Amino acid sequence: MMVKDRYDIVVIGAGPAGSVAARYAAENGASVLMLERDRESGIPVRCAEGVSHNGIAPFIDIDKRWIASQIDIAKLTSPNGESALMHNNGVGYVLERRIFDTALCELAAKHGARLITKANALDLIKENNKITGVKYRYMGKTCEVKCNIVIAADGTESRVGRWAGINTTVALRDIDTCVQYTLAGLDIKRDTCEFYFGNEVSPGGYVWIFPKSDSTANVGIGIAGHLSHEKGPKEYLDEFVARRFPDATITYTMYGGVPTAATLKEIVKDNFMIVGDAARQVNPITGGGIVQGMIAGSIAGKVAAEAVKKGTFDAKFLKKYRKEWDKTLGNTQKVMHNMKEKFLFMTDERFNNLVSFCKKIPSDKFSLKSLFTEAVKGDPKLMLDVAKSFVVSKIKLK
C-alpha cells in the first residue's frame, strides 16, 4: 500500500475520536492519513463498552456484529443495598469495541481516509516553530509525513498535545483510576446495567456491571485519583466481586485512567487540533467518552476540511471547532464537572436518600434528568445549570 509523503491532514490515533475526525475530514474533501500505534484499532480494549443508541446512531448504522447486549434498564444501588430501576433513558448497548473501533476505521477508509496501523507517532515536525508534519516509526523505519493540520486523537495519555505545547495536565481528583474484569459464569440480566455507589464500595466513583451476555459482563470500578492512595481500586473491586460473584471466572483484566475534568482550555493551535480523551472530552460523571469523542471528532474533521478548502490553518480559524464543541457538549460538560464535585463529597446517607427518592418515581418516568435534578437540590445555581444543560444538550449521556 502506497503512503504518500504529504496529506492535507494527519490524524494521530484511530480510536473513535480519530476515526470519526478522519472520516468527516475525508468526506468533506481533504486528503487524510490516520496513524495508529497498535496493530489494530480498539485492541487492547480499555473500556466498559457502554454507549447510548442515540449517541452512536448519527455516526454509524447499528450492526449486531459489534453489539454484545442491548440495554433497556439501569439499576442504581445505594450503600444500604436499596435499588432503583431507570427505564426512561433510551436504549443503550454494550459494545464489542474490538469490532466497533475497526468498523469506524472502515467507514473512514470508505470515505477516502488512509489508515496505517503499527505506525507510532514519535514527534511533530516543526519548521520555524510552525507544525508542518509528523515523524513516525513504521516497520522498523523512521518516516516523515507533511501536512497542513495535525489532529491529535491519541487518547488519555496524549503525548501529542504536549508536543504541540498544549497543557494537558489534569488534577489528580479529576482522574478516575479504574480496574475492570470481564467475568464469566454469572447469572445476570442481559438487558440491565448495574451501578453501585457508596464510600465503602467506590469512593468518589462507582462500580459497574455491564452485561455482555446472560453469563458474562464487564465488571469494573473507577475511584477518584486523590482517594485511591490508601486502598486501591483493585482491592475495592475484589471485595465487590467476592461478595456479588464469588464463583465467577476472570477472563480479562484491564487497568486504565479516565479524565473526569472539563474540556482542555486550549484545543486548537495554528495547524493543530486535539480531540477525544486527549482533549478531556469525557462525561465527568459517567466517565463515558466514546460518543463525546465521536461528536468532537466530527466537528473537528469538518472544520479541518473547511480550513483546507480555504487554505487557512491558523488557530483563529480552527477555533470554529471550539465554538461548535462548546455549543454542542462542552458547556454541558462544564456543568457535569461541577456536579461531579458534588458527588465527590456525597455522604452514604445522601446516596441512600437519593436512591430512596428515585425509587418513588415510576421506573418508566425515571431518567438521568430526574436523578441529577434531585442530586443537586439545595444548590439553586447548579439546579438551573443542570436544567439548562438538558435543554441544550443534543445527545443523551453515555
What is the per-residue binding string for ligand FAD in 149-188, x denoting contact by CB under 6 A? ----xxx----------------------x-x--------
Report d(CA 393, CA 53) in Å as an integer: 15
Element (H, E) at 116: strand 114-116
Amino acid sitting at position 111: H
Burial (CB count within 10 angstroms: exposed 0-12, middle 13-18, buried 19+), residue 287: buried
| Least separation in angstroms between CB 153 and ligand FAD | 5
φ and ψ of 229, to 5 deg: -80, -35
Assign residue 103 a region (left: φ > 0; alpha: ψ between -120 and 50; beta: otherwise): alpha
Burial (CB count within 10 angstroms: exposed 0-12, middle 13-18, buried 19+), residue 69: buried
Nearer to ligand FAD, 162 or 350 (CB): 162
Residue 258 engages ligand FAD in binding (rule: CB under 6 A): yes
Nearer to ligand FAD, 150 or 308 (CB): 150
Report d(CA 163, CA 129) in Å as an integer: 12
3-class state of residue 93 by DSSP: strand
Residue 18 engages ligand FAD in binding (rule: CB under 6 A): yes
What is the per-residue binding string for ligand FAD in 99-138, x denoting contact by CB under 6 A? ---------------------xx-----------------
CA separation, residue 115 to residues 15, 36, 40, 78 (Å)? 12, 7, 10, 45
Which one among 6, 38, 111, 184 touches ligand FAD, defined by CB under 6 A?
A: 38
Nearer to ligand FAD, 50 or 198 (CB): 50
Nearer to ligand FAD, 282 or 395 (CB): 282
Grid coordinates belonging to 253 = 483484566
Q: Give the binding range for ligand FAD (CB under 6 A) out of 38-46, 234-242, 265-273, 336-344.
A: 38-46
Residues 215-244, interacting with ligand FAD (CB under 6 A):
220
Element (H, E) at 374: helix 368-375
Residue 145 engages ligand FAD in binding (rule: CB under 6 A): no
| Least separation in angstroms between CB 80 and ligand FAD | 26
Q: Give the binding range for ligand FAD (CB under 6 A) out of 36-44, 56-64, 199-207, 388-396.
A: 36-44
Nearer to ligand FAD, 178 or 382 (CB): 178
| Least separation in angstroms between CB 191 and ligand FAD | 16
The site for ligand FAD, by CB under 6 A, has a size of 39
Give the β-pairing of 216-224 and 206-211: antiparallel
Residues 45-104, interacting with ligand FAD (CB under 6 A):
46-51
CA separation, residue 381 to residues 142, 351, 357, 376, 390 (Å)? 53, 21, 21, 9, 15
Residues 296-335, interacting with ligand FAD (CB under 6 A):
none
| Least separation in angstroms between CB 327 and ligand FAD | 20
Nearer to ligand FAD, 237 or 382 (CB): 237
Nearer to ligand FAD, 27 or 382 (CB): 27
What is the per-residue binding string for ligand FAD in 266-285, x denoting contact by CB under 6 A? ----------xxx---x---
| Least separation in angstroms between CB 179 and ligand FAD | 7
Reported for 352-361, long-range contacts at CB under 8 A and 24+ positions apart, including other chains, are 352/78, 352/79, 352/80, 352/82, 354/78, 355/76, 355/77, 355/78, 355/82, 355/83, 355/84, 355/197, 356/78, 356/82, 358/76, 358/84, 358/86, 359/82, 359/83, 359/84, 361/84
Binding site for ligand FAD (CB under 6 A): 12-18, 35-38, 41, 46-51, 120-121, 153-155, 178, 180, 220, 256, 258, 276-278, 282, 287-291, 293, 398
